[in-house]
């Protein structure tokens, strides 16, 4: 059975996670990936997503023409940014598992996807294997709202199917459904007054916010496909001032569009109406971050991934997730896109870890899809 070059792949993972990858500051890592893709024979483009988002880099697109007529066109994607604290990661190896030294995230989310794609492309080249047209998309600003893919140049998309290597399951995981998300920010405006001299002249926005939040009856896990989170509350200046402003931020998610809109209205209206009934004024901002997607299990994007599992002995796990990713927008823009597991665990924390086996198998999974597309 074909194997990856483990030494090369591990060295590249350590190299790339050591590069700063803050959102809107992906230029350095993008330049490194430019060079690697050019060495593999790809032509490179960069879109204007960075300009739209106030960053120093756009999404990186790479293209390699196929060498087998009629083979399926494949897009492989991963994101370049990471959550804080990121960049300058020192990788610690222990018993076949990769960790950071505890001062940063490991950045397996999503450098495991980046490195998996690069190794799969090298294997294809080394084997002189037949393949269809290949697109690679390395995105910016995935963390914190999937903004890089939202702002991508849709005209660059030119594939039959796509795969985002950005899932937490082990290789063999094939995610075919994900929720949409509404973000909301609600301002509860009371009236400022001296808290000791004349509190009766004030309208306490914190107490009103507490009543408004207590009126929200459904939050957390609503059902298997729907969630609600109240994530940020901020207000007040000092203990001797009746607070005149509280801001509440949160999101609702569901894989069902009707449930998503109904829960949005329920949560936002409950908070706003309760606050107004208590004498506060209310401002609100409600934004659709991304739409849900679902792919039927008999679609090409799924069957090619299942064929890759068959090639390398992985157990396919066709499933759905509760988080958003670049796949939401790739699907929305017309290319069926599944999410592939790369084994990343405890992501978004300094306790993040990644099994070496999963890192190597991520490359095999991507490589198998490229081979299956040419069968």
Q: Which of 119, 142, 225, 251 is catalytic?
A: 142
What is the distance in angstroms between the CA of the first residue and the CA of the last residue of the chain? Answer: 18
pLDDT value at position 1? 77
> Across-strand partners of 74?
134, 161
In this predicted structure, what is the pLDDT of residue 209? 98
pLDDT confidence of residue 119: 98
Locate 342 and state its tokens: 């790369």
pLDDT of residue 275: 98
- What pLDDT, on the 0 to 100 scale, is given for residue 6? 97
Q: According to the model, what pLDDT value does residue 87 have?
A: 80
**296 labelled catalytic:** no
Using left for φ > 0, alpha for ψ between -120 and 50, and beta otherwise, residue 274 falls in: alpha
Structure tokens belonging to residue 366: 């991507």
pLDDT at 65: 98
One of 12, 46, 47, 81 is an active-site residue; which one?
A: 81
* Residue appearing with tokens 């070496």: 356
Tokens of 359: 């890192």
Beta strand 74-79 with 161-167: parallel, antiparallel or unpaired?
A: parallel
- Please write down the HEC assignment for all residues of the chain: CCCCCHHHHHHHHHHHHCCCCCCCCCHHHHHHHHHHHHHCCCEEEECCHHHHHCCCCCCEEEEECCCCCCCCCEEEEEECCCCCCCCCCCEEEECCEEEECCCCCCCHHHHHHHHHHHHHHHHHHHCCCCCCCEEEEEECCCCCCCHHHHCCCHHHCCCCEEEEEEECCCECEEEEEECEEEEEEEEEECECEECCCCHHHCECHHHHHHHHHHCCCCCEEEECCEEEEEEEEEECCCCCEECCEEEEEEEEEECCHHHHHHHHHHHHHHHHHHHHHCCCEEEEEEEEEECCEECCCCCHHHHHHHHHHHHHCCCCEEEECCCCCHHHHHHHCCCCEEEEECCCECCCCCCCEEEHHHHHHHHHHHHHHHHHCCC
The pair phi, psi for residue 297, each rounded to 5°, is -70, -15
Q: Give 188's strand partners.
A: 246, 282
Annotation marks residue 358 as catalytic: no
Contact 167, 109 (CB under 8 A): no
pLDDT of residue 18: 96
Report residue 37 as tokens.
Answer: 């893709």
Binned average pLDDT, 10 residues per bin, the chain of 375 residues = 94 96 95 98 98 97 97 98 92 97 96 98 97 98 94 97 97 98 98 96 98 97 97 97 98 98 98 98 97 97 98 97 96 98 96 98 98 98
Q: Which of 363, 365, 366 is nearest to 9 (CA)?
A: 363
- Which backbone phi and psi does 107 adopt, to 5 degrees? 75, 25
- In the numeric block, the tokens 């665990």 are attached to 345
Taken as a whole, the chain contains a residue count of: 375
Nearest alpha carbon to residue 21 among 60, 47, 52:
60
Q: Could you give the dihedral angle defined by the CA atoms of residues 167, 116, 140 and 100, in that order, rounded to the nearest 10 degrees?
A: 80
């Amino acid at each position: 059975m074909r194997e990856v070059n483990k030494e090369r792949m591990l060295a590249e993972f350590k190299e790339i996670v050591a590069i700063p990858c803050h959102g809107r500051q992906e230029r350095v890592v993008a330049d490194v990936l430019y060079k690697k893709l050019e060495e593999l024979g790809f032509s490179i483009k960069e879109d204007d997503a960075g300009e739209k988002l106030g960053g120093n880099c756009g999404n990186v697109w790479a293209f390699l023409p196929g060498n087998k007529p009629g083979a399926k066109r494949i897009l492989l994607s991963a994101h370049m940014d990471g959550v804080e604290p990121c960049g300058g990661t020192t990788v610690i190896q222990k018993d076949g598992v990769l960790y950071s030294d505890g001062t940063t995230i490991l950045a397996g989310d999503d450098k495991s996807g980046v490195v998996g794609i690069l190794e799969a492309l090298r294997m294809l080249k080394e084997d002189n294997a037949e393949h269809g047209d290949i697109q690679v998309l390395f995105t910016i600003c995935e963390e914190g709202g999937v903004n890089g893919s939202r702002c991508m140049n849709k005209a660059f998309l030119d594939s039959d199917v796509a795969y985002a290597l950005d899932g937490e399951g082990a290789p063999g995981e094939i995610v075919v459904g994900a929720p949409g998300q509404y973000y909301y920010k609600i301002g509860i405006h009371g009236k400022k007054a001296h808290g000791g001299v004349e509190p009766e002249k004030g309208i306490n926005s914190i107490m009103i916010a507490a009543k408004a939040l207590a009126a929200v009856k459904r939050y957390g896990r609503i059902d298997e496909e729907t969630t609600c989170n109240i994530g940020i509350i901020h207000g007040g200046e000092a203990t001797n001032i009746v607070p005149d402003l509280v801001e509440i931020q949160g999101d609702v998610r569901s894989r069902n569009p009707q449930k998503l809109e109904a829960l949005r209205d329920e949560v936002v209206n409950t908070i706003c109406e309760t606050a107004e009934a208590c004498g506060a004024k209310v401002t609100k901002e409600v934004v659709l971050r991304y739409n849900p997607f679902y792919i039927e299990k008999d679609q090409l994007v799924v069957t090619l991934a299942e064929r890759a599992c068959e090639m390398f002995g992985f157990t396919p796990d066709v499933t759905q997730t509760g988080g958003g990713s670049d796949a939401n927008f790739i699907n929305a823009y017309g290319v069926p896109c599944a999410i592939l597991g790369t084994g990343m665990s405890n992501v978004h924390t300094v306790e993040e870890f990644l099994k070496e086996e999963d890192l190597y198998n991520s490359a095999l999974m991507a490589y198998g899809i490229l081979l299956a597309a040419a069968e």
